[in-house]
Amino acid sequence: EQTAEIKAHEKVIKLPTHVEETAKQVGTIAQELGFRAYLVGGVVRDILLKKEVWDIDFVIEGDAIKVAQRLAEKHGVDYHPFEEFRTAHIKVNGLKLEFATTRRETYPHPGAYPLVEYAGLKEDLLRRDFTINAMAVCVNPDCFGTLIDYFGGLRDLKDKLIRVLHPLSFVEDPVRILRALRFAGRLGFKLSKSTEKLLINAVSAGLIAKAPKGRLMNELRLALREERIFEILELYKKYGVLEHVLVGIRWSPQLEKKLLSLRDVIAWHRIEFPKEKIDYGWVYLLVLLEESEKGMDFLVDISAPAWVRETYEDIKKNKKELTKKLLSAQKNSEIYLLLKNKPLPFLLILMTEEDIKEKVRVYLEKLRSVKVDLEKFKGLSGRQLGKAIEEEKMKLMDAL
Ligand code: CTP
């Protein structure tokens, strides 16, 4: 029956070269053990989209841990089994491989953790979120490379649509509401008409608040890491989802203007200072939280890194005053003195204010990198030297 079903959807795809060899080994091991192995989920989507893939998910009809163990032995590496979930992961050839045993999930009530039982591939795919994430590629030798697409994922990829597999999807797992918008933002896709209706209903029924907080925070962290976080936030705004996650946030024309401005600032920073790596997502979050009363509680909930929490406090405490002083600063040295101890994220956020943007830009592009000729200060040391250098720097920048 399995083979007949696969045949009905037959299309063989070419795997990227760096995945092909490992996938073949997995398929051969599965075959020897009498199992069937498939690439599944996001990796299939990304291969079809011709994106780079390094995190590779397999599902095994059989026992995932056994397959991982044999592959690990073959390569002489460790494998990490999770008995309870019958999963394992290993690293091979620079790839992160995750093996799971195919399973069915049923939800006793909305938002609950699912009950998990063994099931075949089709049910494993059926429990997933969107059609584009619910395709598999067979890797056993007798069907290597065959795409298994029960729900029209390939068509939706071509039509650029996010579509749930069944009407209860958002009810069973409300985190998918945010996931839908994350994928739509990341890929520039739209929600299918019916999925959009289901999502709107799920939001207005207040389902987001029913999801476990930890999972919501985790999803938000993933969104903040996305390159196209701005587009994702736009979708959050469009569908009114952020209000359910982030207490006290209110969309206002000012906030929207600021986010747009931040997008430009970040685009500029990426180009001008490609070596200054910062997680821009957190900077967006700081802007979102700026007016919120409970911002710090939220940063704690989401386990924001220390620099984010510190910058938040700094902004709350000092931004208004600093902005005022910057507005009246005339000389480059004055700007320099006001900004020299501020961390970069703070500076980028200051740049979202139109009337001081130029001054901060000058600081970042010129003032902070003014160099003096140390020869001039021979004989000085310690505090005296430091002071002399600063004075000379300021003289130089005021002459710029
Ligand atoms: N999945 C799901 N519902 C969720 C989370 C995950 O159905 N709430 C399924 C999807 O099939 C997804 C797969 O589990 O493709 C793996 O989840 P994850 O690693 O979160 O997603 P990826 O699609 O791999 O996304 P990314 O590209 O962001 O890693």
- pLDDT 10s digit of each residue in the chain, 400 long? 445 454 555 689 999 999 999 999 999 999 999 999 999 999 999 999 999 999 999 999 999 999 999 999 999 999 999 988 889 999 999 999 999 999 988 877 776 777 888 889 999 999 999 999 999 999 999 999 999 999 999 999 999 999 999 999 999 999 999 999 999 999 999 999 999 999 999 999 999 998 988 999 999 999 999 999 999 999 999 999 999 988 778 889 999 999 999 999 999 999 999 999 899 999 999 999 998 888 999 999 999 999 999 999 999 999 999 999 999 999 999 999 999 989 999 999 999 999 999 999 999 999 998 888 888 777 777 788 888 888 888 888 888 8
Quote the pLDDT of residue 84.
85
| CA–CA dist 69, 178 (Å, integer) | 35
Bin 137: left if φ > 0, else alpha if -120 < ψ < 50, else beta. Answer: beta
**Closest residue (by CA) to atom 18 of ligand 1?**
42
Please say whether the beta carbons of 315 and 286 come within 8 A.
yes
Range 71-90 burial, b when 16+ CB lie within 10 A, else e: bbeeeeeebebeeeebbbbb
Quote the pLDDT of residue 1.
44
In the chain, beta strands by DSSP E: 36-40, 55-61, 79-82, 87-92, 95-101, 103-106, 115-118, 136-138, 147-148, 161-162, 190-191
Query: The tokens of 390 are what?
Result: 């600063």
CA of 134 to the centre of ligand 1 (A): 9
**What are the Cα distances from residue 209, in Å, to 163, 212, 332?**
22, 8, 49
- What is the best residue among 129, 156, 175, 176 to mutate for testing ligand 1's pocket, by most ligand atoms within 8 Å of CB? 129
- Among 46, 185, 186, 195, which residue's Cα sits nearest to residue 130? 195
Atom of ligand 1 nearest to the CA of 41: 15
* Measured distance CA(176)–CA(170) in Å, rounded: 6
pLDDT at 392: 85
The whole model's pTM is what?
0.89
pLDDT for the residue numbered 316: 93
Residue 79 DSSP one-character state: E
pLDDT of amino acid 58: 98
Distance between Cα 41 and ligand 1 center (Å) = 6
Which alpha helices (DSSP H) does 10-120 contain, by range? 17-33, 42-48, 64-75
CA 377/CA 204 separation, integer angstroms? 68
Q: How many CA atoms lie within 13 A of 386 on its CB side?
A: 2
Strand, helix or coil for residue 289: helix
Q: Which protein residues are within 6 Å of ligand 1, measured from CB?
A: 41-42, 128-129, 133-134, 173, 175-176, 179
**Residue 378: Cβ-neighbour burial (10 angstroms; 0-12, 13-18, 19+):** exposed
Whole-number Å distance, alpha carbon 42 to ligand 1 midpoint, is: 6
How many Cβ atoms sit within 10 Å of the Cβ of residue 167?
A: 12
What is the 21 CA–ligand 1 centroid distance (Å)? 24
Beta bridge partners of 370: none
Scan for tokens 């000379």, then name that residue.
392
**Nearest-CA neighbor of 161 among 187, 128, 122, 200?**
187
The string of DSSP letters for 152-195 reads: -HHHHHHHTEE-BSSTTHHHH-THHHHHHHHHHHHHT-EE-HHH
ipTM above 0.90 for this complex: yes
